[in-house]
A and B are shown apart, each in its own frame.
Chain A
């Protein structure tokens, strides 16, 4: 009797999950079409010459990056925007990161008032360049406190109403600021509080001087899985949630925020590894409490290219951290679940995240165990079992194919036949190899969360890379 109940339960849930994914896919499609059409003749460079364009602060935290820091900062200089400042926050690096910046840009320590709106670890000094050419560069040297703390320190010294949080090792395309700031300027009745850009994978791409010159699909399977995964997450998942206004996360790799609201909410949370997600949820909760209409948007243009882990070990640590960050945020804001007071966030966004990002892997693992139990007690009906398995498998394959199709129609970044050949294999292998691994890592993440691990992993502290899809 019990097995029939479980059978039915699994069936219903599986069908529901597929229907929801299908629905999200359809919304994404319409959203992408709309975006392409509306911006076909838009001249974003108008922002470069207009006195009405708002100022933007770029905040880039750096920790032990002495090898690449100078080039990374120089790449930021070429962002095409008129009225912006760059704040590099040296988060207590133990190597010569700060010395290198000081030497290269001819910095001197300046007087400042330690009168900060957000509490942070103590600041050792604030540096500005003697060279007028670098007048828009500020370097903050502070004691180590993690990425969230570094960003808060950057917010404290910033001057402009909007800020962009970026990973200093990401490659940001030159017109990213123009594209990110536009949603803030396009709505008046519905205040935009944060925008994010799509993250693409830079492994194997030809990169020169901080610009992606040629896009390639990597050869390593582990990276290729992630390429398809990111396509799916950003072009299908995030786009739909942007349209539904139910977004809970802006990737830490690139996101623009309304500084006022961030400061009013108390800035980044230093006690979680998922600070990017936590901030967005807290901002939205704050605005819902005040009954202010607002939106969080995603720009489907590929604005940021990042290197992703190439070894299983590194990837596992990354996923482990994301899982912990997710649970942490969900736990902190558990009041939101199905709370009609929080509108779309409480009724759609949060529950989706709760069930699909946190519970789904656990549920899936439960399914595997149940399956194993059935196999052992040999009451399984093989033909039916195989049929259902095939069905689920093919559904996920087709979903990945749709993601590739969306990229093909919109931004067309993988434009060679060789790219296609490489990409087309992935959806077929992914559900068998990569997906179970992901489930396994998510469970490991849950376990380490229960064990009380709330910190960044020492080993991967270096990269900061936090471009989580979904």
Chain B
């Protein structure tokens, strides 16, 4: 599994990186805004973990573009946002899971598993929908 973590606080990025590092995961980190966009295209991760309140960059645009570029990617947003309107917007733009900050890094793996399961389920149900339509 290829994971890309984008967040403007370098310490938090590294922490999450350590948390997710394991044999089956390949983790990359980005905490400078230019790097985030370039890493996204070159690395093509299976899972994108990102903040949306980024300095010098529009995080909403970023997840939107990521979703357009990689329809199958799992997008997990971690953010200190707590406005329902904006969280809704995030989901509409294509996020699969939202974790509010402050977050418990030890729970990160569970959240991601949940997001992947959710994604797969919705994929299966979509497939069933598709089949039944036929």
Direct contact of A and B (CB under 8 A): yes
A-B contact count (CB 8 A): 37
CB atoms of A49 and B57 under 8 A apart:
no
Shortest CB distance B127–A (Å): 26
CB atoms of B53 and A80 under 8 A apart:
yes
Binary flags per residue of A199-230, CB closer than 8 Å to B gives 1, else 0: 00000000001110100000000000000000
Residue of B nearest to A210 (CB): B58
CB atoms of B61 and A82 under 8 A apart:
no
Flag the segment in B22-30, B42-50, B82-90, B113-121 that touches A: B82-90
In chain B, positions 86-103 with a C-beta closer than 8 Å to chain A are 86, 88-89, 92
Q: Which residues of B contact A209 (CB under 8 A)?
A: 58, 61
Residue of A nearest to B33 (CB): A213
Q: Which residues of A contact B81 (CB under 8 A)?
A: 45, 48-49
Q: Which residues of A contact B41 (CB under 8 A)?
A: none
Interface assignment of B31: CB less than 8 Å from any CB of chain A: no
Number of chain B residues whose Cβ lies closer than 8 Å to a Cβ of chain A: 15
In chain B, positions 43-68 with a C-beta closer than 8 Å to chain A are 53, 56-58, 60-61
Whole-angstrom distance between the alpha carbons of A45 and B82 in the complex?
A: 10
CB atoms of A49 and B92 under 8 A apart:
no
Shortest CB distance B41–A (Å): 14
Number of chain A residues whose Cβ lies closer than 8 Å to a Cβ of chain B: 15
Q: Which residues of A contact B106 (CB under 8 A)?
A: none
Interface assignment of A12: CB less than 8 Å from any CB of chain B: no
Residue of B nearest to A53 (CB): B83
Interface assignment of A23: CB less than 8 Å from any CB of chain B: no
Binary flags per residue of A110-140, CB closer than 8 Å to B gives 1, else 0: 0000000000000000000000010010000
Binary flags per residue of A387-406, CB closer than 8 Å to B gives 1, else 0: 00000000000000000000
Interface assignment of A174: CB less than 8 Å from any CB of chain B: yes
Given contacts A49-B80, A49-B81, A82-B83, contact A133 B58 (CB under 8 A): no
Residues of A participating in the B interface, judged by any CB pair closer than 8 Å = 45, 48-49, 77-78, 80, 82-83, 133, 136, 174, 209-211, 213
The 5 closest A-B pairs by CB, nearest first: A49-B82, A82-B83, A78-B58, A78-B60, A211-B58
Q: What would 22 A/B residue contacts be, using CB atoms closer than 8 Å?
A: A45-B53, A45-B80, A45-B81, A48-B53, A48-B80, A48-B81, A48-B82, A49-B82, A49-B83, A77-B89, A78-B60, A78-B61, A82-B83, A82-B86, A83-B83, A133-B92, A209-B58, A209-B61, A210-B58, A211-B57, A211-B61, A213-B56
Residues of B participating in the A interface, judged by any CB pair closer than 8 Å = 53, 56-58, 60-61, 80-83, 85-86, 88-89, 92
- Supply 20 further A-B pairs (C-beta < 8 A) apart from A48-B53, A78-B58, A211-B58: A45-B80, A45-B81, A48-B80, A48-B81, A48-B82, A48-B86, A49-B80, A49-B81, A49-B82, A77-B60, A80-B86, A82-B85, A82-B86, A133-B88, A133-B89, A133-B92, A136-B85, A209-B58, A211-B56, A213-B56
